[in-house]
A and B are shown apart, each in its own frame.
Chain A
Amino acid sequence: MDGRYDIAIIGSGPAGLSAAINSKIRNKNIIIFWNSDLSRKLITAPIINNYLGFHNVTGIQLKQEFESHISNMGIKLNYEKVNAVYAMGDYYSLMVNEKMYEATAVIIATGIEFDKPIKGEQELLGKGVGYCATCDAPLYKSKTVSIIAYNKDGEEEADFVSELAEKVYYIPMYSGELNINSSIEVIKDIPLEIIGAERVELLKLKNSEIKTDGVFILKNSVAPDQLVPGIIIEQGHIKVDRNMNTNIPGCFAAGDCTGKPYQYLKSAGEGQVAALNAVLYIDSIKNKK
């Protein structure tokens, strides 16, 4: 773990990058967490004509402009996925698997995912349904675990769990060759429902049913209220005021994750507002000491 950063930014789309630039200009010590391609949504946009200053560009061209801007400012991105952000009072702890980072302020710019939860997922959350297999794996010694994975990162988690659990099923929601322990049973089917009374008992898929004690759903991004326990969500979005403050002091949010319109320029604007307010927050804490 490095020393405590001033601002940690989660997300590398327009909101996150705009926040980064504005924080850097204000001389703050920042760390930005990202996935590949800066933003999956951005690179698939065919033509953009409403981002002021860049007319008729493709998503990829706009992404290249963003990259060049941040590179020009000496901003480096940290290619790691944050699993959780813990509000510790006067600082935040960010967990990346076993590693932990600290920051005085956090800006959540994780975008929006349109996956609907599986039937039974929300009801049985914490009762056998979880989002982090490695976190809860030891609780499933001599039990059965089913892992529904949306990307390749799930394979490593599945291997880890297979060393502890009695039986592991792996349900890949992506295509491509799998590289997992031979003891893991792969099921290529669509999960429909997670069933159980007080605890998970069964996973129903389109063409089969499996008895299971735990179901871990490894998605592409972590839902904001899972990522930041205690954060208030309203209608699927992080609730913010006009200063991009969430309900937790020092935690800000910007971009699609705060709501509509889902537009790049709006996201960039919110990233800026979040950064400027994060800076004010940090300075106010420093002045109190």
Chain B
Amino acid sequence: MVKVVVDPVTRIEGHLRIEMDLKDVTTDTGTWQFVDKAYSRGMMFRGFEIFLKGRDPRDAWYLTQRICGVCPAPHAEASIQAIESAFNIVPPPAAVLMRNILHGAYYLYDHMIHTYLLVGPELGILAKYPPMVPPALGKPGVAALGLGSSYVKCIEMQRKANEIVALWGGKFPHHASEYPGGMTVRPTEDRIASTLARMVEIWEFVALTMVKDLMALVEANKALGEKLTELLGVELRGLQDIGVSTGNFLSYGLFPDPETYESDWLEPSKRRNALFVSGAWDGSPKKFREEKVTEHVKYSWYSSSSGHPFEEDTVPDKDKEGAYTWLKAPRYDNKVYEVGPLARMINTFGLKWRIPRVHPITGEDYGDFVYEVQNPNGSVLDRIAARVANALLIANKMFEWINDIKEYKDAPVVNYRDVPDRGEGYGLWEAPRGALGHWLKIKGKKIEHYQAVVPGTWNFSPRDDNGNPGPVETSLECGTTWLPKDLDVPTICNVLYPEEDIDLSPLGINKKVKWGDALATALAPLGLAKLNMEPANGANYNTSIALTIVRSFDPCLGCAIHIIER
């Protein structure tokens, strides 16, 4: 048996190691190596719940942001809602709206960097789509070849989105303006105007460039599927048959309606008025029940029992036999659920989505963005599409929130309440990469118990107490994760795209070359000729497809391992 290890997995947050056992599959066209078993391993532990214990509960939302610097804002929000629930206070509508604006901008940043900086490079290379390849030849390459044009634009746009976060939050990462019961910031005219100005540019990038790039990927994917089928002798439509998960999708709901916050949002099984609703889709829509969330630890380095986040008793045990990760295994109703943009879209809109693209200032109609889920069990392509769809929905909605907040210029922004002697509560929110919950108990005005169950833990979880692999492990094991043996990235690309149609004359090289040869030209001087190649048993295995699957989940490992209590 061949075992291939990727450690560190880069272009993610945190320290992740993926181990894959390969199997030979013989078809009409030859013998190929596919992933048989996969193990996802989280490799760094900090212990947030331990040092939260005994602190002023109002500090928790500040500190838990530092669980993850890629998704700090969602931790702040889950935490502040847990605190509010334990304090028994409800934020006023103005605060809910300002939170929506701040977090909406945050979401746009996050979906952009993931789409372009983190998962984008492999997609651009696999699909022969230069705008999504990193700008390896610098600005001249962008100008002459369009190499990395979207990537470079994304750097600028994600920054502008975070400028909006800073307008309402002071800075990003780690904003400062929330407070139990509301916000400390006010909806001043300059904040509203500055937000609007930036949002127009961001909307244009999301609605025009991101959607266009996705459509180009979907188109290129058809050819990719045909070529892979021909080459491997295995029926493959494309990226919709790669990285296939369980078909169970969990969403806690995201972006509440300010006016029905108490009646709708504060009851997580309802949450029908939010931009994204709560739900536990298993092929058909199901209501979400908070009490069905548990964490399993049989294969995790903890010497303790599994249970609900309010009850779990967990201590680290680095030497536990059979365990292979710092991640626990969260389960819903004891079953494996995938979380993330695709889960939000499917729970809210089902399997077919239609989102308008009307310019918020000029009113020009660019035509609806329409997408039908290609694989109801989840796939690389559907996850990428869902992320773009999420971004578009939020970009549209931002203008509504910015307009609405004008009505609240003089309205109260905080409902105050002193720290209670006792209380318990939870805050359920969504990080861009999926369902995020914080659970909190207060005793003697101090934190007695804190537990966070985060999206990285859901998706990158190890096997559970019943031996069922987590969503990423399932996706890698789905049968189509091909690890080309001794075929490097340029070679694969030359096989997939044999035509000589990349014109290098803008770079002063007067010839046309194959896609793979062009990539080789760009990769070699950067020392990247062996990109994604991993040695095992005397051969080198190309892990590009496996890494694309892993990254399609938007890994965030700092989040996933933060925890223990007691």
Q: Do A and B bind each other?
A: no
* B→A interface (CB under 8 Å): none
